[in-house]
Structure 1
Amino acid sequence: MDLNIKDLDNDVGERLRQQAAAAGLSMQQYLRNQLTRIASRPSPAELEPGAHTMSRSDFEAIRAKLRGIDAA
C-alpha cells in the first residue's frame, strides 16, 4: 500500500527527518516502522469497547496506558 500525506506541517516533517536520521534509517523506513508500531496497538476506541464518544479525561487515561505499554 502506498500512502501520500498532504499538508504536513514543515516543523513536523523536519522533526521526523531528525528522528529518522538519529535512528539511522531513511524517512520511508522510519515512517513504515512507526506506522507498523501504531497499527499493532489497540486504538483508544478499541480499549473502551462500546464507547462512541470519549471524554478528554478518558482519552488521556487511555493515552497514559499506551505510554506504559510503549515504555515496557
Structure 2
Amino acid sequence: MMPMAIVVGDVHPVDIMLAREHGSTAHARAIGWLDMATNRIWLDLVLLPKGKGITNAHVIRSFVNMVEA
C-alpha cells in the first residue's frame, strides 16, 4: 500500500484543562489523522468558544494541513 492511500481521522476531547485569558477554562479538541500505510499520525488542536463544536471547516483545514506538511 502506498503512503496516504488510506487515511482515517477522528476528533477527541483533550483531557488537559486550559485557562482562558478572562479566567474561564476550556478543553481543546484534537483532530487526528492516521496514515494506514505508514502509521504516521497528524494531530491538530482546536480551542473552541464555550458551547461550540468542531465544524466541517475545522476538519477540512486539518486535512489540508496534513497533506501540505
For the criterion TM > 0.5, the same-fold answer is no
Of Structure 1 and Structure 2, the greater strand share is in: 2
Q: TM-score of the superposition, structure 2-length normalised?
A: 0.34
Question: Greater relative contact order: 1 or 2 (C-alpha under 8 angstroms, separation 6 or more)?
Answer: 2
Larger radius of gyration: 1
